[in-house]
Amino acid sequence: MVLANDPQNALLWALSELEENNFKILKFHLRGMALPEGQPHLARGELEGLSRVDLASKLILTYGAREAVRVVLKALKVMNLLELVDQLSLICLNDYRETYREHVRSLEERREGEVGSSYIQLLLVAKPSSGSPESSACLVPEQEVDSVVVEALFGFGEKPHPAPSSVVLQGSAGTGKTTLAKKMVLDWATGTLYPGWFDYVFYVSCKEVVLLPKGKIEQLLFWCCGDSQAPVTEILRQPERLLFILDGFDELQRPFEEQLKKVSSNPKEDVLHRLIRRRILPTCSLLITTRPQALQNLEPLLNGACHVRILGFSEEERRSYFSSYFKDEEQARKAFEVVEGNAILYQACQVPGICWVVCSWLKRQMERGQAISETPRNSTDIFMAYVSTFLPSDDKEGRSEPSRHRVLRSLCSLAAEGIQHQRFLFGEAELRKHNLDGPSLAAFLSSNDYQEGLDIKKFYSFRHISFQEFFHAMSYLVTQDQSRLGEASRREMKRLLQVQDPEGNKEMTLSVQFLLDMSRKESSSNLELKFRLKIPPCIMQDLKHIKEQMESLKLNRTWDLELSLRESKIKNLVNSIQMSDVSFKVEHSHERKSHSSKSFSVKTSLNNGQKEEPKCPLLGAQKEASHGKEP
């Protein structure tokens, strides 16, 4: 068999391979074939007397070259000519693989370089799965941990350990999980990541999966490909050559573990649960990103996985981020001086999402010519400074409620409704319901257009999940509803008591963390100054009680690990393998930058001297770095 370079040659080759009797039977099946709605049917007399060349021309003229191949494939399957089906499918699949790669690249261009612009490198460290012998000592700040590279996540070229088919990438809010996930898909599409290993790499946003028209794996692939005619049968023929990146497991609409263990009531989400449980495509590879709070829900669904923790920026890369974010070098220098002069700000900027918040806040203050006099004491103060800076100023229209406070109340009610129902996407009607104008609130909300049938619909989400959690926390103070606060406290306690974590890594939700920080004396004064909000004594008393409950459980705060694990504890951080442009988005809003990408060298050092063979190749004996580029 000579492989054809395009669908037209492939079709002509397949027809010429048929014996005369099979060629007649093929034309018979083509006349009566059931085709998808909207595709033309061939009339009884149209195919009479046509030669192979004439039939190929007729089919291409009627359906287009690629769809003509699919139509013939369908008929050949009915005829049980499976060898010819396999050969023609291979041609069709190879052709569509490049079509899909181009789709990924063009999607990035339409998003104005969302993940293809300037990046700053992220630190990744290996972490055993919960319950393994190594897990209790893996991510303790006083102990050494091992850095890993994206190229090694699936163990390519690493012997004798088998390549893991499931990798869990965990990290707190804002550590860069989504950016890294999208960058991996783009690098695969450009041929720089996993060349020759995966035919397809699909990015799936867990919060967006509710928009699927149907909860079937075929529909998921149509959605990922952006093509309702994608050859899913051929794509699924070799599942071991597929990688699904499921981004944001914690944003699925099943908030509690017992609901996740049951068959999902939402068939659109159930397709992801079946993928994770290996009920469908058991030999495909999975990369699942999640915040730590959802690990308790995720672990029971997995049948073994490698765990990797994303830690954010190194000290060196924090400075690089500021240089990339600010177009003006003098602004970048002044902003970084402000951050370096404040230990809290400097440490917080290890988390890429917080670093973006800090840069955006400082940039706006500089543009207004305002002196930077604030000294945030924690991450909550940083978010308060950002929100206060970007909320609209009060209007002069004589309304009973100033516009600044009105917008704040509306953002809080939208966030609270979303968190309550585990929802992170909002339609335009929902924004109107909360009296919000999406386009004018780009500092807090981002939007995307989605195809729904023949229509394009716009959906909004908070710029980051941490903003939704922040406004959710503020909602209790804006409404001053003591009953809501008490109910929220009981719900959080119930969630925490359900978490069984032998490592003692229970973590309070970000909303509760924000709320407790706001109740501190200095922060409550800030609330009154910035937002004209004064916490009533009854609410303050409840917050004090909640704080005592949280402290009794000895909970971790979000970002505790990222901000406590010093680089000196990450072994072999420099002078080794170059990570291929895995970094964090630095442009603000829709600004484009032309700065060259930066690289950061890390070593795949993997626990020298371990006697017992680990479950995860990322935690095995030290391996040669043959898969990486030399620096």
Mean pLDDT throughout 434-446?
A: 92
- Write down the pLDDT at residue 224: 93
Structure tokens at 606: 């993997």
Lowest mean pLDDT among 37-41, 79-83, 521-525: 37-41
- Write down the pLDDT at residue 415: 93
Q: Which residue has the higher pLDDT, 593 or 73?
A: 73
| DSSP character string of 241-284 | GEEEEEE-GGGSS--SHHHHHSPPS-HHHHHHHHHHTTSSSTTS
Judged by phi (left if over 0) then psi (alpha if -120 to 50, else beta), residue 161 lies in beta
Tell me: pLDDT of 400 over 70: no
Of 113, 76, 33, 27, nearest to 594 by C-alpha is: 113
- Write down the pLDDT at residue 557: 72
Lowest mean pLDDT among 52-56, 105-109, 166-170: 105-109
Of 606, 597, 601, nearest to 578 by C-alpha is: 601
Query: What is the Cα–Cα distance from 243 to 187, expressed in whole angstroms?
Result: 13
- Write down the pLDDT at residue 386: 95
- Write down the pLDDT at residue 113: 47
Query: What is the Cα–Cα distance from 27 to 42, expressed in whole angstroms?
Result: 10
Q: How far apart are the first and last CA of the chain?
A: 43
Tell me: pLDDT of 229 over 70: yes
Give 536: exposed, middle or buried? Use CB within 10 Å, 0-12, 13-18, 19+: exposed
Would you give the DSSP letter of residue 150?
Answer: G
Query: What is the Cα–Cα distance from 55 to 404, expressed in whole angstroms?
Result: 68
Q: Which pLDDT tens digit goes with each residue over 343-398? A: 889 989 989 999 999 999 999 999 988 878 778 888 999 999 999 999 988 765 55
- Write down the pLDDT at residue 98: 84
Query: What is the Cα–Cα distance from 353 to 161, expressed in whole angstroms?
Result: 35
- Write down the pLDDT at residue 120: 66
Would you give the DSSP letter of residue 147?
Answer: B
Do 569 and 140 contact (CB within 8 A), yes or no?
no
DSSP 3-state helix, strand, coil percentages of the chain (rounded to 5)?
Answer: 50, 10, 40
Q: How confident is the model at residue 481 (pLDDT cuts 50, 70, 90)?
A: low
- Write down the pLDDT at residue 118: 54
Mean pLDDT throughout 460-476?
A: 92
- Write down the pLDDT at residue 537: 83
Tell me: pLDDT of 581 over 90: no
Residue 246, strand partner residues: 204, 288
Mean pLDDT throughout 8-34?
A: 89
pTM of the complete model: 0.72
Coil, helix or strand at residue 12: helix
Q: Tell me the range of 63-72, 446-455, 547-556, 609-618 where mean pLDDT is highest.
A: 63-72
Q: Which pLDDT tens digit goes with each residue over 307-323? A: 898 888 888 888 889 99
Do 509 and 422 contact (CB within 8 A), yes or no?
no
Tell me: pLDDT of 599 over 80: no
Query: What is the Cα–Cα distance from 205 to 248, expressed in whole angstroms?
Result: 7
Q: What mean pLDDT value characterizes the chain? A: 76
- Write down the pLDDT at residue 42: 80
Query: What is the Cα–Cα distance from 408 to 529, expressed in whole angstroms?
Result: 15
Task: Report the half-sphere exposure of 145 (CA within 13 A, side-chain side).
Answer: 28
Structure tokens at 125: 């460290």
Tell me: pLDDT of 590 over 70: no
Q: Report percent pLDDT > 90 for the chain.
A: 29
Q: How confident is the model at residue 234 (pLDDT cuts 50, 70, 90)?
A: confident
Tell me: pLDDT of 589 over 80: no
Q: How confident is the model at residue 550 (pLDDT cuts 50, 70, 90)?
A: confident
